[in-house]
Amino acid sequence: MQPNETISETPQAGFDPNSPVGTFVVALALCLVCSFVVSFAAVALKPLQEKNAKNKMMRNVLIAAGIWENGKHTDADIPQLFQNVSVILWDLPEGETTGSQNTTLNLDDYDQQKAVSTVEGSIAIPTDLDLAGIKKREKVSRVYIVRTADGGIDKLVLPVYGKGLWSTLYGFLAVDASTHESRGITFYKHAETPGLGGEVDNPKWKAHWADAKSPLQLRDAEGNVVLDVTKPGNANQPNEVDGLSGATITSNGVENTIRYWLGKNAFGPMLDQLASGTVPFTLPESGSADSAVDGVSNPEVATPTETATDESSSPTDDEASTPDAASAPANETTN
């Protein structure tokens, strides 16, 4: 090589990841790979997620009925535990009708929660009758009938839902078939404040709804709903249960929810017939967990957020409206 000779570099042919085009291609490839992985995982896990959601619903039916024992039972026990539970579809009252068993719809295919979001499957509730604050409800509901050892009717487990403070509370209420006393309650989805309205999940509070020694009276002999959720510490009558401390609006929401669903515009007429000695439905020969619950989606009209918010900024008892979950301020300090 001569002293003054310069060396010229020949550009390498091929892909250059450090070039603008190369950077874009690398980013695009990463996006495509990540999208594929996420999509594959979502599709692969969907059956498992749906199974888990269905098991959760069935567990809550059994919890309300007093059949499920935490620490003793697992999801593998659900089919066996449902052997004494029959499931029917019930036409809720509409207009002049008082309700009757629905034998038209297929129990296995009927999605009760999706029905609320359809025109043909739901009915608007007049404001003066809407104690639960849900605006509309399904026309047809599942009813869970817990049978005795000899095939008689022990209790009914009814799906109920209504407005609390920040959200709609979804749950199940067990009612004694003959006395119409409470046999248990559970809420499986809501967005009430942990430690306040969220105490609807507290086993100690729910135990008052399943107290065999001092049963909670829900309806009187005339079929009137007499449940009274009182201020904490004030319950001293058979129809009274203490409300949740610091959660007056949620407590009132629970009371109004029960009053609506046990009233004449929902399950009341069916309970009236049972009280008179008439069984208004035909029981399937045996229970089955397969048709016990429907899809896991929730109606758009009443879908709470999954993250609970603080109830310390609750409106006073004199305020007429209840805010939706979407309007709840987050991360406030509880006083």
Highest mean pLDDT among 50-59, 163-172, 303-312, 321-330: 163-172
Strands 182-189 and 168-176: antiparallel
Residue 5 lies in a domain: no
Residue 123 lies in a domain: yes
45-49, 66-70, 202-206, 225-229: least confidently modelled range: 45-49
Using a pLDDT cut of 70, give the percent of the chain over it: 81
Residue 104 lies in a domain: yes
31-45, 237-251, 299-313: least confidently modelled range: 299-313
* Residue pair 169/188 in contact by the 8 Å Cβ criterion: no
Strands (E), the chain: 85-91, 100-101, 122-124, 136-138, 140-147, 153-163, 168-176, 182-189, 228-230, 240-242
**Domain of residue 112, residue span:** 52-69+78-327
The predicted structure's pLDDT at residue 291: 60
* pLDDT confidence band for 44 (50 / 70 / 90): confident
Using a pLDDT cut of 90, give the percent of the chain over it: 64
* Residue pair 132/152 in contact by the 8 Å Cβ criterion: no
Residue 22 lies in a domain: no
* pLDDT confidence band for 117 (50 / 70 / 90): very high
Residue 332 lies in a domain: no
Arithmetic mean of pLDDT, 245-267:
97
Q: In whole angstroms, give the CA distance from residue 16 to residue 20.
A: 9
Residues paired with 122 in a beta bridge: 138
Tell me which of 121 and 285 has the higher pLDDT: 121
Residue 66, Cα to own-chain centre: how many angstroms? 18
120-124, 172-176, 221-225, 308-312: least confidently modelled range: 308-312
**How many domains does the chain contain in total?**
1
Quick one: which of 159, 112, 114, 157 has its CA closest to 132? 159
Residue 217 lies in a domain: yes
- The string of pLDDT tens digits covering residues 199-227 is 999 999 999 999 999 999 999 999 999 99
Residue 44 lies in a domain: no
